[in-house]
Amino acid sequence: MATPRTILFLCPHNAAKSILAAAYFESMASARTLDFRAASAGTIPDAAPSPAVVAQLQSEGIDVSGHKPRQATLAELASAHRVISLGCSPEELAGFGRGVDRWDDVPPASQDLAACRAAIRRHLEALWDELDDSVPPAAAD
């Protein structure tokens, strides 16, 4: 079996938006046959994830309580199939050496968690449509 391609979600602190995006992506991936996985990281990580985000995901049956915010590495940025920024500034993304998709319209989870979740889910649906379209159909037997 081939190694799954990674979609790397970045937010400044790796404490809320990137965790939500990666968790929802993984949840959506389990219902699809495409070989992708999610990872999340930050540019200036916090010490711990947002308790509100952990509680929200827990209420949806997704456990991220063991998540430790971490800094993105150049190696994972280079090897990711796609890198998606949720609110990182251009200065934070400078020097990554590759294109980064920007989902800058996602509001901070600390200000409006419901709107944040809705925006992320909307972006993820569009992303899955793109990923579905990018994979050639299987050869007929």
Strand 36-42, strand 101-102: pairing: unpaired
**Structural fold of domain 5-134:** Rossmann fold (3.40.50)
pTM of structure = 0.90
The predicted-structure confidence for 103-141, as pLDDT tens digits, reads as follows 999 999 999 999 999 999 999 999 999 988 776 554 333
The predicted-structure confidence for 28-73, as pLDDT tens digits, reads as follows 988 887 789 999 999 999 999 999 999 999 999 999 999 999 999 9
Contact 28, 129 (CB under 8 A): no
Left (φ > 0), alpha (ψ -120 to 50) or beta: where does 30 sit?
alpha
CA angle 40, 130, 25 (to 5 degrees): 30
